[in-house]
Structure 1
Amino acid sequence: MSENDEPVRKALLEDLDTGFGELYGAYRGLVFSTALRLSGRWADAEDLTAEAFLRAFKALAGYEPDRIAALQPRAWLMTILMNIWRNCARAKSRRPPTDLVDDPVETVDPREGVEETAARHETGDELAELLGQLPEEQRAAVVLRHVVDLPVSEIAMVLKIPQGTVKSHVSRGLHRLRALGGVR
């Protein structure tokens, strides 16, 4: 369970609108970075993040207080994100490929120096490319474990698979990344 879960849960119980603001503030970076590592594209990550929070808000509006009180917000948001990502990946695989070049627009942090921007961009692109070469289940497990830093028990809840399978996916994914030259 995340340290943000309890204050977010309390805020959601007091007032859904204010609480949702707390939820968004606490987890937007985590959801976006996870979406970016899963999709490999900035624009797709923005879309996935927006859709995840939209679905979360709609779901919360229908929840009873006891269900909100038992909610584990971080794991719950990751579950929503993973479901959206899988559905998008399935839909994308059914569409014919386009010949258009999809270069993501790079946003620049004005406080960041040129060297830092270049290093971050290069590392992020390399990681996205390497993660994109992993099978879907391994990519999801590796991202949730080593990017999001979820414990194995929460990853099992998010992916709806046994903890042993999570460990296997993470181990095989890391082994494959090492073979590809991306992890030491």
Structure 2
Amino acid sequence: MNRADEAGLHQEQALLNSLLADLDHCFEQVVLHYEQRLFAFALRLSGSYEEAQEITQDAFVRAYHALSGYSVEQVRSLALRAWLYQIVLNVARNRLRKLRHLPTCVSLEQAGTDADEELEGARAEGPEAHLEARERLLLLQQALLTLPLAYREVIVLRHIEGLSYPELARLLNQPIGTVKARVHRGLAQLRQVLAQHHAREVLYD
């Protein structure tokens, strides 16, 4: 485990201790700490700013009500980050099943801190590098939205949100081998979509 992971675990445990001390007052700290990341996750799943807002808000309401009914032992045993992702995922699945069509594009301004960091790094290299990075990220967002949700969710959780395979297996309640197979198949489909886009670009050049 690296230092960043250790720091994250310490921070997570501190939040859990705060919740045990005063749920009503300290739940706001949980919202402030995780809101942007959970919103970005919901946005990548749904492709819709409005849907992502609804999903995130609903998830926090459900999390609060769940915590209010948990015992001290249950709260202490929570893997808080993965638990919150699981709630967001469940809410998103329920809402997205009711939608006939998903949007095909996500605004980078709404896509989360990882997109911000990559664009900021490219901006330092000059306007051309910044434009190329922006186009690359937009293409990735659009390609993700073409995948079935079962593949989109595991790719985002594993390769964008950075969950480990053991975390993913617990979150999805599936064997690690099954999760790895889903990620592998999802990445294969994603590469195929990106390759098709590249082929179209070559034809139009």
| TM-score, normalised relative to structure 2 | 0.73
Post-superposition offset of 1:156 = 1.3
Distance 2:42 2:132 in 1: 21
Superposed CA deviations along residues 129-174 of structure 1, whole A, max 9, x for unmatched, are 2111112211111010011101111111222221111111111111
Look up the match of 1:173: 186
Query: Which sections of structure 2, spanning at least 5 residues, go unmatched?
Result: 111-115, 196-205
Change (3 A) 1:142 1:107: closer
2:53 to 36, 46, 52: 46
Distance 2:188 2:90 in 1: 25
Look up the match of 1:141: 154
Please provide the CA RMSD for this pair: 2.8
| TM-score, normalised relative to structure 1 | 0.80
Q: Greater helix share, 1 or 2?
A: 2
Distance 2:176 2:106 in 1: 35
Distance 1:38 1:149 in 2: 15
Question: Do 1:82 and 1:159's aligned partners in 2 also have CA atoms closer than 8 Å?
Answer: no
Question: Do 1:82 and 1:158's aligned partners in 2 also have CA atoms closer than 8 Å?
Answer: no
Query: Which sections of structure 1, spanning at least 5 residues, go unmatched?
Result: none
Distance 2:18 2:192 in 1: 45
Post-superposition offset of 1:127 = 2.4
Q: Tell me the SS of whatever aligns to 2:99.
A: helix
Question: Do 1:9 and 1:19's aligned partners in 2 also have CA atoms closer than 8 Å?
Answer: no
Change (3 A) 1:162 1:18: same
Post-superposition offset of 1:18 = 2.8
Between structure 1 and structure 2, the one with the greater Rg is 2
| Greater relative contact order (CA < 8 Å, ≥ 6 in sequence) | 1
